[in-house]
Amino acid sequence: MARHAESGFEIEPVYDAVPPDLPARLGEPGSYPYTRGVYPSMYTHRPWTMRQYAGFGTARESNERYHQLLAAGTAGISVAFDLPTQMGMDSDDPRAAGEVGKVGVAIDSIEDMRVLFGGIPQGKVSASMTINAPASLLLLLYQLVAEEQGVPASELRGTIQNDVLKEYIARGTYIYPPAESLRLVTDTFAYCKAELPRWNTISISGYHMAEAGATPAQEIGFTLANGVEYVRAAIAADMPVDEFASRLSFFFVARTTLLEEVAKFRAARRIWAQVMREDFGASDPRSWMLRFHTQTAGVQLTAQQPEVNLVRVAVQALGAVFGGTQSLHTNSFDEAIALPSAKAARLALRTQQVLAYETDVTATVDPFAGSYVVEAMTDEVEAAARELMASVEKAGGAVAAIETGLQKAAIEKSAYAVARGIEDGSRTVVGLNRFAVVDEEQYQPQRVNPAIEGEQRSRLATLRAGRDGTEVGAALAAVRTAARGTDNVLYPMKTALAARATVGEVCDALRDEWGGYRPYDAF
């Protein structure tokens, strides 16, 4: 019986040839079309950046975890925010009830951000913030706190996800309609070019599409189509392509299907290089490079026999490294149950460190180059992804396709096929539908203290009582004025946040002018 890749093409039992033009098409590592990696030496001089995504409860608790991870050897911090923060709501908003601090840290104001990064040298440690609709606000808070530490904005390094288009496709933490969301994204591009030149202004994400059920080809096809939409929006805002393209980055998943994942990463680099050079006319080689962060696949973790997830994560991480990732987060083995414990987070980091320092995978660049199977798979994934990108173009581009549900419907169809395969046993998940343990010992998960919601409400009440209400009101009025016009909204937003306006208040000021997005208006 033939076996098929996640992307749909048939996997041959034996591969025994590569196209004769392959060496010319591949190029060298660090040169166009970057199939073999964006840097000539890749990991032979230093390994990828090891990040651990963390954030829960209060800013104080998350700060303690960051210090533990830095002491354990992480090279960068990745911040997870709770759902109210992601949706631009304060912790005392009635809609936030029951969600404060649950899936990330609650950040309501500059005071929380000061606590979150207390004792962390922002000029030396890069930070990645997984936030989308209100990404610009969290970046401004980060900048304000760094400036209080005496760190100039020009020295800050890191990334904001800031990829709101995938929220309409696969995740749902949007606030404003797509056009207004794109305005905020491009204003952030322009602001960072002027104020934070070392900051990566967007991490265009396929990870969440993959977690929603996208195949590898769908993951990169729809993600790169979103990337095209962002580039077009920036150019339409009178930004020359080579002025912002080098600060674009991407965010992908690494699954357990190691060979196809390696092929996926190589195909994505090749497609993006061609799109930027040929379609957009970028002349700076840095604009052609697809640089990306990878996270191992949370959706493939199981609550049953959670220790088996250590093996899954190691295989997934290996695929990301063989695929040439620039930074990597490895999931903790207990994440299918609850928030990771400190021990589990440390083990996840140790997985990366073993790969980097105890194996020989960093000794050579692109170890799979010329592999019969991986080169064939790279071509297959590339062809499938390009076909999907063409379907998005035919629909009028990523935003127009979102309005018709094109990407969402395709991903949901793939997710259904996976669920059916697990249910009928044609797809094996060890410990779940095969090799199960009848009397499994129950794992004791870490829990978030529900009292933090009350603590955050008290902090907000104290904040509002102690600030200058007139100053805050005037600053929020300036945000509304900028939103109605064409001025960059980040400058008045920064002034408002510095005056101790809350995240929810600034987001509401934009909501007053732009409205909110309601999916049922579109479908």
Q: How far apart are CA 313 and CA 311, in angstroms?
A: 5
CB atoms within 10 A of CB 372: 13
Six token digits for residue 115: 């606590």
- Closest to 184 measured CA to CA, from 137, 144, 150, 152: 137
Backbone angles phi, psi at 209, to 5 degrees: -65, -40
- Closest to 23 measured CA to CA, from 38, 39, 35, 14: 35
Find the mean pLDDT for residues 349-356. 97
Q: Give the strands of the sheet with 126-130, arranged side by side.
A: 199-200, 158-160, 126-130, 76-80, 49-54, 327-329, 292-296, 248-254, 202-205
Strand partners, 53: 78
Bridge pairing between strands 292-296 and 248-254: parallel
Find the mean pLDDT for residues 199-223. 97
Q: How far apart are CA 147 and CA 141, in angstroms?
A: 10
Q: What is the pLDDT of residues 156-178, one digit of tens each?
A: 999 999 999 999 999 999 999 99
CB 456 within 8 A of CB 450: no
Q: How far apart are CA 345 and CA 334, in angstroms?
A: 9
Q: What is the pLDDT of residues 271-286, one digit of tens each?
A: 999 999 999 999 999 9
Maximum distance among all Cα pairs of the chain, rounded to whole angstroms = 74
- Domains of the chain with bracketed CATH: 27-404 (3.20.20.240), 452-522 (no CATH)
Bridge pairing between strands 10-11 and 3-4: antiparallel
Six token digits for residue 148: 């209080």
Kindly indicate the confidence band of residue 341, based on its pLDDT and cuts at 50, 70 and 90.
confident
Q: What is the pLDDT of residues 304-332, one digit of tens each?
A: 999 999 999 999 999 999 999 999 999 99
Q: What is the pLDDT of residues 214-224, one digit of tens each?
A: 999 999 999 99
DSSP string, 412-426: HHHHHHHHHHHHHTS
Please report, for residues 34, 48, 363, the alpha-carbon distance to residue 44 in angstroms, rounded to integers and kept in the order given.
Answer: 17, 10, 5
CB 468 within 8 A of CB 499: yes
State the pLDDT at residue 523. 41
Q: How far apart are CA 312 and CA 306, in angstroms?
A: 10
The helix-helix angle for 372-394 and 406-424 (nearest 10°) equals 140
The mean of the pLDDT values for the chain is 95
Q: What is the pLDDT of residues 287-310, one digit of tens each?
A: 999 999 999 999 999 999 999 999
Residue the block writes with tokens 């020295």: 155
DSSP string, 287-326: HH---EEEEE-GGG--SSSGGGHHHHHHHHHHHHHHTT-S
State the pLDDT at residue 23. 84
State the pLDDT at residue 521. 47
Strand partners, 204: 250
CB 256 within 8 A of CB 299: no
